[in-house]
Amino acid sequence: MAKNIQREEKLEFRLMQLDDIPDVLEIEHEAFTLPWTEEAFRNELTMNHFAKYMIMELNGQAIGYAGMWTIMDEAHITNIAVREAFRGRKLGDKLLDELMQTASYLGMERMTLEVRVTNRIAQGLYEKKGFKPAGVRKGYYSDNNEDAVIMWADLPAHKASDEQEGSVQEQ
């Protein structure tokens, strides 16, 4: 009996680089009615010292990205998006987990975001991750003047281990 061998999928997260901008723009246009520009991403990566952006790759292909600003002990999610062809596979869930873990690692205690009042799918994901509605920004989205729900979550404290990636051990 022949075995049906499936290619094992390899999901990885890494910091966004300038070379990633073309892929990110494709994802951005698939996900948002008001996509950010190349210049906006370039400025975030080169000029904004509070900005942290990551790429989610599946088998070496960029399929999602997320970004946040880290200010004092709070992280503000700026964008989170997954390619249309890969939605519905809980990859947004994994991307948000990675972003929250990174924020915690960086010493952030709380995380916030805005989400369209009509985007119940995203709100459900955020609620599942511990975000709670905390208010409304009236007319936040300029494409249709839609309101945004402001959501906040407490982040778990980062647990430092003896061996951390990139750490140097004395001999």
Yes or no: say if 16 and 24 are a contact pair by the CB < 8 Å rule: yes
The answer to whether 16 and 55 are in contact (CB under 8 A) is yes
Q: In sequence order, what are the residues at sequence separation of 6 or more whose Cβ sits closer than 8 angstroms to the Cβ of residue 155?
A: 75, 100, 103, 104, 108, 109, 110, 111
CB-based contact 74:21 (threshold 8 Å): no
Any idea which residue has 């946040």 for tokens? 68
The per-type count for the chain, helices as H runs and strands as E runs, is: 4, 7
Residues annotated catalytic, as ranges: 114, 126
